Amino acid sequence: MARTPTIEILVGAFVAAGLVALLFLAVRVSNLGAAGGGEGYRVTALFDNVGSLKVRAPVSMAGVRIGRVENIRFDPEALQALVTMQIDGEIDRIPDDTLASIFTAGLLGEQYVGLDPGGSESYLREGDRIGLTQSALVLEQMIGQLLFSNQEETSE
């Protein structure tokens, strides 16, 4: 029984070390800190083609992430893709004539939504729709256009 205190200290140290490790994994390794906030407001946008945009993809402005894609579905009336984005609450001064485009990070990287601010005085609010959008670039279409224009040049 005399040894029990040391065992209890060691077990306490072990549990503390394990919890610190879990905390390290949660805060430093995963994106708990970056995802913080969670709250914010939602805006939607219609795209002709979302390419391979995924739910949870970043929404960025000037290269800085300000939100994430929350939902992507097909709008049967507009025959376009309806993308719902969640924007961080503190970024509440995005002009309502902002252009939303789908870009690719790097050559083979994931796709994200980039916002280019317009000059309007009124700002986007919860549930607003971004009117100006630019679709994802589809590699096959670009190659097709390139081949097509090359053919025209050679035939002339």
Partner 1 sequence: MLASLARLGGGCLQGLERLGRGQALLARMIGGMPSLALRPRLLVRQIYNVGVLSMAVVIVSGLFVGMVLGLQGHSVLSRFGAEESLGVLVAAALVRELGPVLAALLVAGRAGSALTAEIGLMKATEQLSGLEMMAVDPVERILAPRLLGGLVAMPLLAALFSSLGVLGGWFVGVGLLGVDDGAFWGQMSSRIDLDEDVLNGVVKSLVFGLVVTWIALFQGYHAVPTSEGVSRATTRSVVHAALAVLGLDFVLTAIMLGD
Judged by CB under 8 A, which stretch of 5-13, 47-55, 75-83, 122-130 contacts partner 1? 5-13
* Residue 132 in contact with partner 1, rule: CB under 8 A: no
Q: Tell me if 50 sits within 8 A of 137, measured CB to CB.
A: no
Number of residues that bind partner 1 (CB under 8 A): 26
User: Shortest approach of partner 1 to residue 8 CB, angstroms?
Assistant: 6
The CA distance from 66 to 57, in Å, is 11
* Residue 38 in contact with partner 1, rule: CB under 8 A: no
Residue 85 or 124 having the CB closest to partner 1: 85
* Residue 22 in contact with partner 1, rule: CB under 8 A: yes
User: Shortest approach of partner 1 to residue 121 CB, angstroms?
Assistant: 34
Judged by CB under 8 A, which stretch of 13-21, 89-97, 111-119, 135-143 contacts partner 1? 13-21
Q: What tokens were used for 19?
A: 């919890």
Q: Tell me if 85 sits within 8 A of 47, measured CB to CB.
A: no
Judged by CB under 8 A, which stretch of 23-31, 96-104, 121-129, 130-138 contacts partner 1? 23-31
The per-residue DSSP string of 1-57 comes to -TTHHHHHHHHHHHHHHHHHHHHHIIIIISSHHHHTT--EEEEEEEES--TT--TT-
The CA distance from 48 to 109, in Å, is 21
* Residue 11 in contact with partner 1, rule: CB under 8 A: yes
User: Coil, helix or strand for 99?
Assistant: strand
State the residues that interact with partner 1 by CB under 8 A: 4, 7-8, 10-11, 13-15, 17-22, 24-26, 28-35, 58
